[in-house]
Amino acid sequence: MKLLIVDDSAIIRSRIARVLSDLRLNSIEVVGMARNGMEAIALFLQNTPDIVTMDITMPEMDGVDCTEKMISLSPECNILVISALSDKATALKALKKGARGFLYKPFTDEELIAAFLELTNP
C-alpha cells in the first residue's frame, strides 16, 4: 500500500511516517512527503498513492483544494484528513470533496492507527 503524507509540519510528517511504517498489519510504503498542496499534487501524479494523509491549513494550496484535485485524478484514493480542531468546518468541506476519514490534531499514535485501519479496512 502506497502512502503519501501531506502536512506543513516536518514533525507531523515524520511522526505519521514512523507510526504507520511500524504498523506491520499492512505493507506500507511511504512514497512521498509534501509540505503543501502543490508539492502533494506533483508527488501524487508521480506515485499514485493508495492512501493520503492530508493536513488542511497549508501554504500555496490548502488541503480542501488538494483533496478535490486528488479525487478528480483518482476517485478511488483514500484520503484521511488530519487537522486541528479549529479547522473543523474546513475539514468537513474536505470530506464533502471526497476525503474518507478525519482525525483531529493533536492525536495519539493509537488514534492515528485506528483511523488508518478504519480507512483501509472498511
- For domain 2-120, the question of CATH label 3.40.50.2300 is answered with yes
Whether this prediction's pTM lies above 0.75 is answered by yes
Measured CA distances, 99 to 10, 11, 27, 78, 96 (Å): 22, 23, 22, 7, 7
Predicted confidence (pLDDT) per residue in 27-82, tens digit: 789 999 999 999 999 999 999 999 999 998 899 999 999 999 999 999 999 999 99
- How far is 72 from 5, CA to CA, in rounded Å? 18
Beta carbons within 10 angstroms of residue 122's beta carbon: 8
Domain ranges of the chain: 2-120
